[in-house]
């Protein structure tokens, strides 16, 4: 295992699989992310416009480097259908050295 201080897991929810697939594809195509997992059937409960809401959503798990975070955030803000998309980055504290190297290679290679 390797120190993963330079790596992030970014979380973002989407309204459906079509949007999730489109955003995931764009993130990987633009090398903002090495990999995006799409998890369906997530239930979110939250307050919006002073009302309690409950929504079926799709969760994106976006693997990237700190140096590519701005590209991830920018793409999500510009292409996400939500007025206020969830964009939360969690540092990867440790990880498999070969996997972290692969993330590095994927987000740093020329498109």
Of residues 66, 74, 60, the one with CA closest to residue 22: 60
2-108 fold: Alpha-Beta Plaits (3.30.70)
pLDDT on residue 40: 93
pLDDT on residue 4: 61
The ranges assigned to domains in the chain are 2-108
Would the pLDDT of 2 be above 80? Answer: no
Query: Whole-prediction pTM value?
Result: 0.93
- C-alpha separations of 48 from 37, 53, 80, 84 in Å: 26, 7, 17, 10
Cα–Cα distance measured from residue 110 to residue 40, given in angstroms and rounded to the nearest whole number: 31
Of residues 63, 56, 57, the one with CA closest to residue 24: 63
pLDDT tens across 19-77, in order? 999 999 999 999 999 999 999 989 999 999 999 999 999 999 999 999 999 999 999 99
pLDDT on residue 108: 87
Q: Position of tokens 């989407």?
A: 14
Of residues 56, 59, 52, 75, the one with CA closest to residue 21: 59
């Amino acid at each position: 295992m390797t120190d993963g201080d330079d790596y992030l897991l970014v979380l973002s929810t989407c309204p459906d699989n079509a949007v999730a697939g489109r955003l995931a594809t764009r993130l990987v195509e633009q090398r903002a992310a090495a990999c995006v997992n799409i998890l369906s059937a997530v239930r979110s409960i939250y307050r919006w416009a002073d009302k309690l809401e409950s929504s079926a959503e799709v969760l994106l798990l976006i693997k990237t480097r700190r140096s590519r975070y701005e590209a991830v955030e920018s793409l999500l803000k510009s292409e996400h259908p939500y007025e206020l998309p969830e964009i939360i980055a969690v540092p990867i504290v440790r990880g498999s050295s070969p996997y972290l190297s692969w993330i590095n290679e994927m987000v740093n290679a020329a498109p």
